[in-house]
Amino acid sequence: MTSIIRVRARHVSIPLDVQTGIARRQITERHYGLVEVTGSDGITGIGFCYVGHRAGGLFTQAVSDLLAHRILGEDAYRVEGLWEEMYQEALLHGRSGTVLRAISAINNAMWDRNARAAGLPLYRFIGASATDRVPAYASGGYYLPGKTPADLAEECAGHVASGFTAVKIKVGGGKDLAEEEARVRAVRERIGSDVLLMLDANNAWSDFPTALQFIRAFEPYRPYWIEEPFSPDDIDNHARLAAATSIPVATGEIETGRWRFKELIARDAVAILQTDACVCGGISEFRRIAATAASHGLTLAPHWFHDLHVHLVASIPNAKWVEFFPDSQVLNFRELVDVQLQTENGDVLLPQTPGLGFGFVEKAVEAYAVAPWTDAKKTAVVKAAVA
């Protein structure tokens, strides 16, 4: 039996080159949680997640103090059973938020480790649907100082020139309705009618009448979806908006656990699920959510972290797109990755090397680290010696 002999965790903080805006906040840095899980065969898998713009140390504490002891010494292939045990262990500390992101990172590291041990790319280890490439949309359109609607339109046109047939921009962060409509209109006129245009509101609106006013202004430009129009907890208004507009409602990027997704689906509050395997509970939970969505004829378009989600889109038939970030301006996690995904004609080419197909750039990790690695193996040995 291959057992888990080491669990390491760390968090890093990477500043953005330029202060970047979304609907309700300005972003100057991003914190990421990193995990390594090593088996007795010497093979290590990696996991990671986004943990906001401060207090990333909560992630490493959740991994080292709350969760690592549940998996140390256990069969490295008992992935589903250990997921259940970690979730049960965390019931009183948080069934969502940073604690579930820590469970996600560990779960993903275990899947990665086992795929590397099998010598297979992760999507093949899970069970491939695609084997060469998967569709992607270019994600961007953020608010930057001095950025005009014409600048935004030019940005999107650049993505189309690179081969993408779908692009996404931010909405909801402008000063008024006219400004927001001008941004959407400029992009649609520049990219033409055949390119899909997704809109991401990042929880911009707190009431239904205001949201509907903006949505009505956007409808003539035929958005493919409106993403996160309300707080993730405001399922009622998601359902009201879904019933009131022809634009499909997409959400779920910061939802956790199959139960919340079940409620979204049951209440007709969503047309496209944006489940994030670094947030929802890991690859194990992502697959359960995807199966539920498939039973209801719903599509998934995973949020963020294209380096991970390319494998899930390639292995789950009702997962349609990878959200691809062409540079590190916003998704600066790319600076920690030693192998970058390649695109061709709007598709992401699938990795052909074992596991996730990349590792951490150790020099970058050291440069951005907030604290040293925590090492559960060392903790476990000390406790055993004391006993």
Report pLDDT digits (tens) over 215-274.
999 999 999 999 999 999 999 999 999 999 999 999 999 999 999 999 999 999 999 999
Task: Report whether pLDDT(385) > 60.
Answer: no
pLDDT 10s digits, 163-218: 999 999 999 987 799 999 999 999 999 999 999 999 999 999 999 999 999 999 99
| 223 closest CA partner among 250, 252, 254 | 250
| 367's tokens | 């440069």
Q: What is the pLDDT of residue 226?
A: 98
Task: Report whether pLDDT(378) > 60.
Answer: no
The predicted model gives 365-386 an average pLDDT of 71
Task: Compare 106 and 326 and report the one with higher pLDDT.
Answer: 106
Reported as a pLDDT band with limits 50, 70 and 90, residue 22 is confident
- Fold matches, 4-120+360-386 and 124-349: no
pLDDT 10s digits, 293-310: 999 999 999 999 999 999
How far apart CA 283 and CA 285 sit, in angstroms, is 6
Q: Cβ(11)–Cβ(32) under 8 Å?
A: yes
Q: Cβ(334)–Cβ(32) under 8 Å?
A: no
Q: What is the pLDDT of residue 94?
A: 84
The mean of the pLDDT values for the chain is 94
Reported as a pLDDT band with limits 50, 70 and 90, residue 74 is very high
Residues annotated as part of the active site: 170, 303
Residue for token digits 């707080």?
Answer: 231
Q: What is the pLDDT of residue 56?
A: 86
Reported as a pLDDT band with limits 50, 70 and 90, residue 381 is very low
For residues 294, 298, 302 and 308, what is the CA-based torsion angle, rounded to 10 degrees?
20
The predicted model gives 56-60 an average pLDDT of 92
Task: Compare 17 and 201 and report the one with higher pLDDT.
Answer: 201
Cβ neighbour number for residue 28 with a 10 Å cutoff: 10
pLDDT 10s digits, 328-358: 888 899 999 999 999 999 999 999 999 999 9
Q: What is the pLDDT of residue 100?
A: 97
| 340's tokens | 């970058």
pLDDT 10s digits, 81-117: 999 999 999 999 988 899 999 999 999 999 999 999 9
Q: What is the pLDDT of residue 384?
A: 38
Q: What is the pLDDT of residue 382?
A: 35
- CATH fold for the domain made of 4-120+360-386: Enolase-like; domain 1 (3.30.390)
- Supply the CATH classification number for the domain 124-349: 3.20.20.120
Reported as a pLDDT band with limits 50, 70 and 90, residue 383 is very low
Q: Where are the domains of the chain?
A: 4-120+360-386, 124-349
